[in-house]
């Protein structure tokens, strides 16, 4: 990106990297599921995120909760420390809407944001 003069990236990661944000029961369930299947993927995501943080570009890391194929509602919440209860969900359409809004939002640069319904 730097070589081509591109400065802005909104990078969609996964809530599996930040399970501490979830309430107790969903956190335990995700860790049990991840134990064998996703550990390598989570480690790769964490390495990639660290490279992004050190990259010098204007990044935003976005952590959607459980994704659905639901419609665009524009009734989602996002922030660095939002309350997540149970097994929170958000539609892919709402995540896409937020990404488009964040691209031109300078207050989100170098921030890690969660998004949920």
The CATH number of residue 69's host domain is 3.40.50.720
Q: Given a cut of 60, is residue 17 above it in pLDDT?
A: no
Q: Is 72 inside a domain boundary?
A: yes
Query: How many domains is the chain built from?
Result: 1
Q: Look at residue 45 in the predicted model and tell me its pLDDT.
A: 80
Q: Is 1 inside a domain boundary?
A: no
Q: Is 97 inside a domain boundary?
A: yes
Q: Given a cut of 70, is residue 110 above it in pLDDT?
A: yes
Which tens digit of pLDDT belongs to each residue from 23-63? Answer: 666 666 666 666 665 666 777 888 888 999 999 899 999 99
Q: Given a cut of 70, is residue 22 above it in pLDDT?
A: no
CA-to-CA dists, residue 63 to 3, 4, 78, angstroms: 27, 27, 9
Structural domain span for residue 90: 8-116
Q: Look at residue 72 in the predicted model and tell me its pLDDT.
A: 98
> CA 15, 17, 20, 24: dihedral to nearest 10 degrees?
60
Distance CA 46, CA 115 (A): 18
Q: Is 90 inside a domain boundary?
A: yes
User: How many C-beta atoms lie closer than 10 Å to residue 72's C-beta?
Assistant: 13
């Amino acid at each position: 990106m730097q070589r081509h003069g591109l400065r802005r990236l909104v990078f969609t990661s996964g809530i599996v990297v930040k399970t501490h944000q979830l309430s107790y029961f969903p956190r335990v369930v995700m860790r049990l599921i991840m134990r064998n299947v996703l550990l390598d993927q989570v480690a790769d995501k964490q390495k990639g995120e660290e490279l992004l943080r050190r990259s010098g570009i204007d990044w935003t890391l976005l952590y959607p909760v459980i994704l659905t194929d639901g419609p665009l509602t524009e009734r989602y919440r996002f922030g660095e420390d939002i309350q997540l209860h149970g097994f929170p969900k958000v539609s892919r359409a709402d995540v896409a809407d937020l990404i488009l809004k964040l691209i031109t939002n300078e207050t989100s640069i170098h921030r890690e944001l969660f998004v949920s319904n």
